[in-house]
Structure 1
Amino acid sequence: MALRPETASHLLIDGELRTGGRGTFDVVNPATEEVIGQAADASDDDMDAAIAAARRAFDTTDWSRDHAFRARCLRQLRDALLAHTDELRDLTVAEVGCPVFLTHGPQLVGPVTDLGYFADLAESYEWRRALGEASPMGIKNTRELRSEAVGVVGAITPWNFPHQINFAKIGPALAAGCTVVLKPAPDTPWCAALVGKVIAEETDFPAGVINIVTGTDHRLGARLSTDPRVDLVSFTGSTATGRAVMADAAPTLKKVFLELGGKSAFLVLDDADLQAACSMAAFSVVTHAGQGCAITTRLVVPRAQLAEATELTRTAMAGLAADDPTKPGTICGPVISARQRDRVEGYVQLARDEGGTVEIGGERPDRPGFFVAPTLVSGLDNSARVAQEEIFGPVLVILPHDGDQDAIDIANDSPYGLSGAVWGSDPARIDAVVDGVRTGTMGVNGGIWYSADVPFGGYKQSGIGREMGVAGFEEYLETKAVATPVP
């Protein structure tokens, strides 16, 4: 089976590849602004059918109880997708606009390979755990805890790292024994639709266990939040939309997982290798044009070194120009759409309006595609909107601090708490900073925390719960306590 653009205009519902009830919609290459194909545009009836199929598959089959079979299906999917790596790589770069080097990691191969981790968990997890004997009210009992799948999962995903986020939801949910309805972002429907084609044609997943519904109607995602047949909704996206998901889910009291925004701080201590730190901060913020919720977008440096750090960062950014994502050396590709480019440019103008200095970048490159030049902003403090709000573009704000505790305070002076980084030489000082920053992940001197076994999520308005790792797997489980009298 070949995976080509013309094979991506379908939904996966109840084990069948179907056309969309609203026809199709255009898929645009953000690096060229050209229409490169069509995707299925689902109707409300399509979503209703997908939810019904997932409910039926959970309630009437042994999927949730057959751990070995689930593991086998997940490994089938992993192996089939890896066999299509070259085709998926080309389609992903074209649809997402991500630099090709990222498809060897978190944009494709990494998350596909991670399906094996969740298959292993399905087999090795302690589904029943004995608590021993106890005698409440004088009656001796043996007690046991059983972990069971929560039920039907509605997964709503964004466009920036579609494979990684899609599989970070459906992988553990399926391994846990849940059935799933996946609603991907309309900007990147192919990454999900082609997975649906592989599931339907190259795996043994039973009908209805996994359903994939692409479409332009944002009410489709809201349907997953409100429908009483859905037991859990897992959403990754903006904090504003996350609030709406939480409110929509409240009447049915369904479980909610939210992975939301970030405005993460890159803290440089006064004993750090300043050039290495500034180079890494520049590289991080321009990777995939800054379109990552965990990317560090505030560079916080010692006040005495501010001028030097600004020059070092500006120089590093100058060598990381926005370019064609198909080139092997490109780090910064386009942003996803004209609307997103306008949003980023609006924040650059806001930085100027607030009294900041655009040290480099800020302009639109003279070429087709939704490109924004890597941008460094100085001359503002942490109260500025560009230092407080998530921009989702290759824009870095450099801020001064007056010692380690002040750096911690600046990092924590944010509604978000998703990720962060610290650079320094003294392990004790670094450890104090890591302890002090209220965030879900921290990288130390370039350390990379991303891995299938590492839980990811945030504090404060960056979300609720964790994704990946055992903690992410357990988001999709319920706990049942069983007591039996001892004769």
Structure 2
Amino acid sequence: MTSASALTLDCSRYAKGLYIGGEWIAGGGIAVVDPSTEEPVAEVADASEAQAIAAVDAAHAAAAGWRATAPRKRAEILLRCHALILERIDELAMLISLENGKALSDARGEVTYAAEFFRWYAEEAVRVAGEFRMAPAGTNRILVDYEPIGVSVLITPWNFPAAMATRKIAPALAAGCTVVLKPASETPLTAYALADIYAEAGVPPGVVNVITTNRPGPVTAAMLADTRVRKLSFTGSTGVGRTLLAEAAKRVLNASMELGGNAPFIVFDDADLEAALDGAMVAKMRNAGEACTATNRFIVQDGICERFAEGLAQRMGALRVGPGTDPQTQCGPMITKKAVDKIEDLVADAIRQGAEVLVGGERPQRAGYFYAPTVLIDVPRTARMAQEEIFGPVAALYRFTDEDEAVSLANDTEYGLSAYVYTDDLKRGLAVSGRIEAGMVALNRGLVSDPAAPFGGVKQSGLGREGGIHGILEYMEAKYIATSF
């Protein structure tokens, strides 16, 4: 059932067109579908290559003025963005739930998380430090300054339509860069709603531009070929990331990539079972499993495996599945039918190879792109889901006997974004965390993301970091000046 609040939210008000140079350029062509109902809720503009270059024009025209804006002034504008986003948390959460299907509780959490990037980078904007020291030979002084990298193209996915945008926009603006944002065509309304907020907060015209397109390949290629563009930041699949890196290589363009994940969740026999289950539900079911940090592989020691599996199955089976806009929903729909089809194929493959279904394992018979929360035990290491992102509410359990086997299983993937470890032995926990090939490890925690911490992976999970003090440096160049004074 759709809530009354959802019925009163007019999605067309966020579909005013492309946002270029502080103006709305009318257009249509891209239907935005509520995955809970499979019904369209709005139609947004479909940008051409020429309109993408117009967005670059606007960002370039605004670049000198924004770069010259005092860091304190930039910080004040970012703080205003933070305050306005939180003032409209209910509206933005409902909008996310409508176009993404995300449960309202998750959507509210995302809005809070998204806003926090503006507060964090308001603080970082005034604290970018350079260097001044004597050269070892004593012949000159070494002066290092950090400068804005320039016009930046930002490409974000559908699963966190607010947070993935602000995680890029906030540090870029704090550094003094102007941007062109291309959000996913599945969830563009949130990006456009936020564009209005940026303008109200005082972001000058052209500093942030937002375009949507049904032809992401040619439109993105046109922008990356423009010599005025100096930075590409992408969040999405590893496959698309490789394609974009190839495009960026043509101009030796600075590129940051936050790509796929296949997170292990290691539970040792000595772990607090209830705490591990609490963490498992957060790590697995945030956004119904549609997250790059989501746990795919529960690697559980023999002595605790049966009890952990039983507890996880009980919790997963008790989740209320329904439309994201229903306040009682705990697990919303997947983003598209294609996403559900993939999950179904992965589960069927694991079952064919001997996995046992403890709960779920099927599509509910209802409208919308739903898949039942599912727990599989004794999943073979040869199953496709052992190597591929599931991106859905499916927990796959694997057994291990000793620490070396756990680490080997955890590292048996091309990905290396996040990992989770549960043990009451802090020494072992830290040792195992050090051996896992991942950019982020949560030790006795089910949540790893934090605006104040560096977010990113190793191996095929990406290049660079977002968040923390590292995030702003991704949008800056170090300039060395040798001087005798």
TM over 0.5: yes
Aligned residue identity for 1:8: Y
Q: Map Cα deviations across residues 90-109 of structure 1 (whole Å, 9 max, x no partner).
A: 2111111111112332x212
Shift of the alpha carbon at 1:275?
A: 4.4
Shift of the alpha carbon at 1:3?
A: 8.3
SS in 1 for 2:479: strand
Instruction: State whether structure 2 residue 307 is matched by structure 1 residue 308.
Output: yes
Paired residue for 1:294? Answer: 293
Shift of the alpha carbon at 1:257?
A: 0.4
1:121 and 1:33 map into 2 onto residues whose CA distance is 42
Paired residue for 1:354? Answer: 353
1:286 and 1:123 map into 2 onto residues whose CA distance is 37
SS in 1 for 2:98: helix
Aligned residue identity for 1:14: G
Q: Which runs of 5+ in 1 are unaligned?
A: none
Paired residue for 2:414? Answer: 415
Matches within 5 A, 1:404-483: 404-446=403-445, 448-483=447-482
Paired residue for 1:119? Answer: 122
Shift of the alpha carbon at 1:276?
A: 3.8
Paired residue for 2:255? Answer: 256
Aligned residue identity for 1:114: F
**Equivalent residues of 2:320, 2:328 under 8 A apart:** no
Structure 2 vs 1, CA of residues 351 and 224 (structure 1 numbering), >3 Å: closer, same or farther?
farther
1:82 and 1:3 map into 2 onto residues whose CA distance is 18
Structure 2 vs 1, CA of residues 153 and 64 (structure 1 numbering), >3 Å: closer, same or farther?
farther
Among 82, 106, 111, the alignment partner of 1:108 is 111
Paired residue for 2:135? Answer: 134
Shift of the alpha carbon at 1:351?
A: 1.6
Question: After TM superposition, where is structure 1 displaced by more than 6 Å over at least 4 residues in a row?
Answer: none
Shift of the alpha carbon at 1:396?
A: 1.2
2:282 and 2:452 map into 1 onto residues whose CA distance is 25
Across the aligned residues of Structure 1 and Structure 2, the Cα RMSD in angstroms comes to 1.9
Shift of the alpha carbon at 1:353?
A: 2.8
Paired residue for 2:31? Answer: 26
Instruction: State whether structure 2 residue 241 is matched by structure 1 residue 242.
Output: yes
1:3 and 1:223 map into 2 onto residues whose CA distance is 35
**Equivalent residues of 1:99, 1:330 under 8 A apart:** yes
Q: Normalising by the residue count of structure 1, what TM-score does the alignment of the two structures yield?
A: 0.93
Paired residue for 1:92? Answer: 96
Range that drifts further, 247-256 or 318-327:
318-327
**Equivalent residues of 1:262, 1:418 under 8 A apart:** yes
**Equivalent residues of 1:63, 1:70 under 8 A apart:** no
Paired residue for 1:35? Answer: 40
**Equivalent residues of 2:285, 2:294 under 8 A apart:** no
SS in 1 for 2:376: strand
Determine what percentage of the aligned residue pairs are the same residue: 38
Shift of the alpha carbon at 1:282?
A: 4.0
Paired residue for 2:24? Answer: 17
Q: Normalising by the residue count of structure 2, what TM-score does the alignment of the two structures yield?
A: 0.93
Matches within 5 A, 1:63-462: 63-64=67-68, 66-105=70-109, 107-126=110-129, 128-131=130-133, 133-134=134-135, 136=137, 140-200=139-199, 202-219=200-217, 220-446=219-445, 448-462=447-461
Range that drifts further, 240-249 or 207-216:
207-216
Aligned residue identity for 1:13: I
Shift of the alpha carbon at 1:215?
A: 2.0
Paired residue for 1:8? Answer: 14
Aligned residue identity for 1:61: G
**Equivalent residues of 1:289, 1:322 under 8 A apart:** no
2:91 and 2:304 map into 1 onto residues whose CA distance is 47
2:31 and 2:283 map into 1 onto residues whose CA distance is 31
Aligned residue identity for 2:135: A
1:310 and 1:203 map into 2 onto residues whose CA distance is 49
Aligned residue identity for 1:11: L
Q: Which runs of 5+ in 2 are unaligned?
A: 1-7
Shift of the alpha carbon at 1:180?
A: 0.3
Structure 2 vs 1, CA of residues 13 and 426 (structure 1 numbering), >3 Å: closer, same or farther?
same
**Equivalent residues of 1:374, 1:394 under 8 A apart:** yes
